[in-house]
C-alpha cells in the first residue's frame, strides 16, 4: 500500500482545468499552462476547460512551449487517446506531464524457473537516464510511441533494451493493466501500464543493447519481494507491477 499511495498522489482536478481536443477530454493543465495555451490559434476556453479545436496543431504548439522552457523536448511522439481508445492526435513525450495526458507503457517480468525456484531478471537504469537514474527496473519496460500497439512496443523494446530476440519476446503473456495519477517534478503522470510475464530460458542472459540499462542481474523472487517490501530501490511504477506478480504468485498475505 505504501507504493500504491506513492503512485497516486494527484488529486484531480485540483488546481487544474480539463484539456480537450475538439471537445473530447484528454488531459489536465495547470492555470499557468492554460494561460500559455491561450496565445495560440484554435484554443477555446470556457466552462469545460481549454479546448484545442484543431488537434493536428498540437505537436507544433507543444514544440513552441518547449522552446519557452515549459518542459523538456524529448523528440518522441506519443499518441493522444480518448477514453474509448481512439487516437485523436500526437504529442511529444516530454510534453505529456505538462498537459496531464495519459501515457501508455509496457512492463515485462522476465522470469526464469530453475531447480532452486523462480527467479526474475532485474535491470539497473543507466546513470545518465533523464528520469530515475540508477533505479532498479524490469528487464524490459518503456513508453509506447505513436503508431505502435503495446505488444509491438514490447517486441521493439525487448530488442533495444535487452537484446531479446523477437521470437522469444513474442512469447510474453499479457497479465494485467495498471493505472495511476501521480504528481512528479516533471508534472502530472497519468500512466496506463500493460503488464506482461515472459518466461526466459535458464541459459539466456539479457544484454544492454542501447545503453539505457547499466546492467542485469538474475534475482531469486524472494530477494525481489524483500526489496519491494523494505526499500524504494525499484523505479516507482516497477514496484506496482512486481506487487501484482507477487500477488498472483500467492506470496502476499492477507494480514
Encode pLDDT of 85-122 as tens digits: 899 999 999 999 999 999 999 999 999 999 999 999 99
- Do 27 and 99 touch, CB atoms closer than 8 A? yes
For the question of whether the overall pTM of this predicted structure is more than 0.85, the answer is: yes
- Rounded distance, CA 120 to CA 245, Å? 11
Cell of 248: 498472483
- Rounded distance, CA 82 to CA 165, Å? 33
What separation in angstroms does the CA of 16 have from each of 27, 43, 49, 80?
10, 16, 9, 18
Q: Is the dihedral of CA 169, 158, 146, 30 positive or negative?
A: positive
Q: Helices in 100-219 by DSSP H: which ranges?
A: 150-162, 166-169
Q: What is the pLDDT of residues 212-237, one digit of tens each?
A: 889 999 999 999 999 999 999 999 99
| Domains of the chain, first to last | 2-96 (3.30.750.160), 103-248 (3.90.79.10)
Q: What is the pLDDT of residues 115-167, one digit of tens each?
A: 999 999 999 998 888 777 899 999 999 999 999 999 999 999 999 999 999 99
Cell of 142: 518503456
Amino acid at each position: 500500500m505504501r507504493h500504491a499511495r506513492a503512485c497516486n498522489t494527484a488529486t484531480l482536478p485540483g488546481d487544474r482545468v480539463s484539456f480537450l481536443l475538439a471537445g473530447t477530454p484528454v488531459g489536465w493543465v495547470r492555470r499557468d499552462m492554460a494561460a500559455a495555451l491561450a496565445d495560440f490559434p484554435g484554443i477555446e476556453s470556457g466552462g469545460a476547460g481549454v479546448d484545442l479545436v484543431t488537434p493536428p496543431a498540437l505537436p507544433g504548439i507543444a514544440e513552441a512551449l518547449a522552446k519557452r522552457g515549459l518542459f523538456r523536448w524529448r523528440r518522441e511522439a506519443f499518441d493522444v487517446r480518448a477514453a474509448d481508445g481512439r487516437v485523436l492526435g500526437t504529442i511529444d513525450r516530454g510534453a505529456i506531464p505538462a498537459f496531464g495526458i495519459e501515457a501508455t507503457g509496457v512492463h515485462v517480468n522476465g522470469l526464469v524457473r530453475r531447480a532452486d525456484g523462480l527467479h526474475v531478471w532485474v535491470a539497473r537504469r543507466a546513470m545518465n537516464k533523464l528520469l530515475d537514474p540508477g533505479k532498479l527496473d524490469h528487464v524490459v519496460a518503456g513508453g509506447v510511441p505513436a503508431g505502435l500497439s503495446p505488444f509491438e512496443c514490447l517486441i521493439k523494446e525487448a530488442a533495444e533494451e535487452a537484446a531479446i530476440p523477437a521470437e522469444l519476446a513474442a512469447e510474453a503473456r499479457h497479465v494485467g493493466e495498471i493505472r495511476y495519477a501521480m504528481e512528479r517534478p516533471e508534472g502530472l503522470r497519468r500512466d496506463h501500464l500493460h503488464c506482461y510475464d515472459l518466461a526466459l530460458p535458464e541459459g539466456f542472459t539479457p544484454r544492454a543493447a542501447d545503453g539505457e540499462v547499466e546492467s542485469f542481474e538474475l534475482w531469486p523472487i524472494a530477494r525481489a519481494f524483500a526489496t519491494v517490501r523494505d526499500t524504494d530501490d525499484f523505479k516507482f511504477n516497477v514496484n506496482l507491477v512486481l506487487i501484482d506478480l507477487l500477488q498472483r504468485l500467492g506470496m502476499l498475505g492477507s494480514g
